[in-house]
Homo-oligomer: A and B are copies of this chain.
Amino acid sequence: MSPGDTAGASSSGDALHRFVSELYPICRSLTGEGVRRTLAAIGRHIPLDVREVPSGTRVFDWTVPLEWNIRDAYVKDRAGRKVIDFARSNLHVMGYSEPVRARVAREELDAHLFSLPDHPEWIPYRTSYYQRAWGFCVTERQRAALTDDEYEVLIDTSLEPGHLTWGECVLPGETTDEILISCHVCHPSLCNDNLSGIAVATFLARQLGQERRRHTIRVLFIPGTIGSITWLGQHEGAAAKVRHGMVLTCLGDAGAVTYKQTRRGDTPIDRAAAHVLQHAGRPFTIEPFSPWGYDERQYNSPGFDMPVGCLMRTPHGRFPEYHTSADNLDLVRPEALADSLATALAIVRVVDRDARYMNLNPKCEPQLGTRGLYGAIGGVADAPRRQMAMLWVLNLSDGHHPLLEIATRAAMPFAEVVEAADLLLQHGLLGPCETARA
């Protein structure tokens, strides 16, 4: 399966969407049982190590927060009717709301409400991780209907010392050089912004596990920001082995693929993504790095400066449903999920396979004809593509040009150039060089 290929995509698209649907009802947050249940579901598809660190652990400038869990939450009117009910949508409760059990005047309740005047039917998604607070997120309609003088408020949460939890899937390769894939698992019932990334990362790991790989693949399923900071704080050695990486997020909407570059902007993963997207024959966008977005912010902080890009379709904040109840199972589409998976796979395969070689016969061309690699009859105008690919690989394989650069100069897909290189390797015309590094 390759990007733009619809054959086989529909079955993978359906499977991806089913997995999103399975994870949708779970109330995830930065910590707590929702994350654990999500990781358990992922672990049914791929080998997954679940790790935890206790609340209060110092990581760089941060402290692992208390663990948050929620059992129930509602607002009842004077008549005892639940006018806001966590059981109907887990978005109704602001993430990390502290426990509350009180009767409050309407004005006071209103100060704890979030709604979206521009989208009166949607519930927004809000959190208060690092400042104790409580709040409800509601539709404009719900808010307008609050006409009683007083309401009964229940938020049955716990905010106690516990753990921060994440999952790691490590697929050892021929070398200890690593390709890092990272997605966040801290959003509740929101499909594009986080479940699409989780599903694509899971299926990507499953597929890569079945392929020969030079690199070790590490897929992280982590809570946003504090999760990547904690992982980096505890794995500086592993971070140093990361040669290429991508954050996966917002991969299910109908928009075109967007690749956000690494901080350096010209690393192999940046070039691989550009190459794959340019040859996929569909619209796409490549954006420069900015220190806003997802966990690429942490991986690309100056003390790490890891070559980690971000693969998306429509970036966060640019689709109106972002962080609202409208980011639901209808927004993410099987065909978009399948195409995102194929694109991510193609990019990973390029960086995994790319390498520099040495032409073992560097003075003039070798005689390809005697090896059956060249047409016998001379005089025709065009060389076959395979022959051109071989000539390009021979001409540029002086130890300085990785295959991806050769493919770019030849204006050929990477796979054709790899095929030519393999032929030349088999015929003893090409020899190994060190693996291409950024």
Contact = CB atoms under 8 A, between A and B. Distances in A.
Given A124-B379, A302-B397, A377-B127, A392 B362 contact: no
A128 B94 CA distance: 79
Interface in A360-398: 361-367, 369-370, 376-383, 388, 391-392, 394-398
A302 B359 contact: yes
**Among A61, A233, A297, A396: residue with most chain B CB under 10 A:** A61
A145 B128 CA distance: 89
A302 B398 contact: yes
Contacts of A361: 60-61
A379 B316 contact: no
**Among A228, A316, A379, A396: residue with most chain B CB under 10 A:** A379
Contacts of A95: 378-379
A254 to B, nearest CB: 19
A28 interface: no
B409 A62 contact: no
A300 interface: yes
Contacts of A322: 381
A283 interface: no
Contact of A395 (B61, B131, B301): B301
Give the number of times this chain occurs in the complex, counting copies. Answer: 3
A229 interface: yes
A298 interface: yes
A407 to B, nearest CB: 13
Contacts of A290: 388, 392, 410
Given A228-B364, A378-B129, A288 B409 contact: yes
A391 B290 CA distance: 9
Given A381-B316, A381-B317, A388-B292, A303 B363 contact: yes
A109 interface: no
25 contacts: A59-B364, A61-B365, A95-B378, A95-B379, A126-B378, A127-B378, A128-B378, A130-B376, A131-B369, A225-B365, A228-B364, A233-B364, A288-B409, A290-B388, A291-B388, A291-B395, A292-B388, A300-B395, A301-B359, A301-B395, A302-B395, A302-B396, A302-B397, A317-B381, A322-B381
Given A60-B364, A131-B369, 18 more contacts: A61-B361, A61-B365, A61-B366, A62-B364, A62-B367, A114-B377, A124-B379, A125-B379, A126-B379, A127-B377, A128-B377, A130-B370, A290-B392, A291-B391, A301-B365, A303-B359, A304-B364, A317-B382
